[in-house]
Structure 1
């Protein structure tokens, strides 16, 4: 085990075997840290968090020579709010911010310049790329891929294996860099398993995308879209609208 002499560790913190805690780290009280966890410099871990085995917190991003969305810059510290649970074998980058009560499943990856709102669930094996904003009470299920420069508003549901995209030119021409943009998913929208959302598409509030759909155009609020390419099928039933759910908090 290695703990930097200038790390600050609160009361009732449990540390597993072979933990590494670097300079400037702050771990607040009542945190449980699993075995083989590495907490990189300046990371802040809020009260009551649980960190699973073999997880890395505060990793600096590496930049591939041909990467078009990763920047070399000074990033702020990783900030993890209160009562956040992070599973085993996760990598969460410096420059991310996880608000209170976020849950991150095993094997997830969360990049720099990402903000995740309160009570959101990031499922097992989910990849959240850089420059992405995710709201409160969002659920992103197993192995979904959230591309760079995406926005997901509050109360959205993203099913397993959903794929977001941000490059209409598929890596060809320098011109493409002017147009990089991930999807924007408005409040309460739902996306079914294995759906693919093309770059820059906006899914309206409370819209529903059926499983396996390929969304090539903007989707209006409260509509069901299905197929390849996705087309309007019907209205979202009234009883399914977010405003009619007992758990919804309009604030």
Structure 2
């Protein structure tokens, strides 16, 4: 049941709303949106924003499916979730974050304040993306990955001057790797399982599993110790 006294709430009659959903002021819920039980939506969020593409965008122009939000998701103030995005159970989306069409966020993951998850990217479960991170389109981020604040991922070596139809390639982040704050990952690189990228590094080549890299360009300096593996830190 929705409290009709919520100021400025715009709720499409074609949206599907679960039980015990709470809305803040000035929330917009577009047609087709599906919200699970126990979802919390804070002030000024826009859910199911329609797709708008520029003339040179590489994203698909087919109509995406509706936005789907799992049970117990918390959507903070000023968030924009595009139509076609999918959020698993228990996800937290921080203030002013932006999740684009066909992005999938796995259960229990956190997207920090002001971060962007671009189109056609898959984020696994229990991933922690800190504030002001840019997760580019066409990425795969596996379970238990950590991405520090201000990290930037890229997917276009030619910076817009590639032949029409040439696919873009975002980085691949394997299970439980850690990406330090302010680091930059170039298109197509793979960060191996349990690898560690130090803050401020510029990663121009693949990083082997459990390697610790730092510098510009990033170089392997040691291996991640057994005591640092994610299994030893899970609560």
Tell me the TM-score normalized by structure 2: 0.97
Post-superposition Cα deviations, 1:72-100, rounded to whole Å, max 9, x if no partner, equal 21211100000000011110011011010
Question: For residues 246 and 58 of structure 1, what CA distance do their matches in structure 2 show?
Answer: 33
8 Å CA contact 1:20–1:36 kept in 2: the answer is yes
Task: Choose the corresponding residue for 2:79, options 90, 94, 102.
Answer: 90
Shift of 1:34: 0.7
| Secondary structure of 1:63's aligned partner | coil
1:130 counterpart = 2:119: yes
Q: CA RMSD in A?
A: 1.2
Post-superposition Cα deviations, 1:43-75, rounded to whole Å, max 9, x if no partner, equal 0111111101111000111011122x2222121
Post-superposition Cα deviations, 1:174-226, rounded to whole Å, max 9, x if no partner, equal 16x52411000000000000000010100000000000000000001011000
Question: For residues 76 and 246 of structure 1, what CA distance do their matches in structure 2 show?
Answer: 34
| Secondary structure of 2:53's aligned partner | coil
Tell me the TM-score normalized by structure 1: 0.90
Post-superposition Cα deviations, 1:149-179, rounded to whole Å, max 9, x if no partner, equal 011100000000000000011111316x524
| Secondary structure of 1:75's aligned partner | coil
Q: 2:169 aligns to what? A: 181
8 Å CA contact 1:207–1:220 kept in 2: the answer is yes
Shift of 1:238: 1.4
Q: Runs of 5+ in structure 2 lacking a partner?
A: none
Question: For residues 212 and 68 of structure 2, what CA distance do their matches in structure 1 show?
Answer: 37
The correspondence of residues 208-227 of structure 1 with structure 2, limited to 5 A, is: 208-227=196-215
Question: For residues 13 and 59 of structure 2, what CA distance do their matches in structure 1 show?
Answer: 25
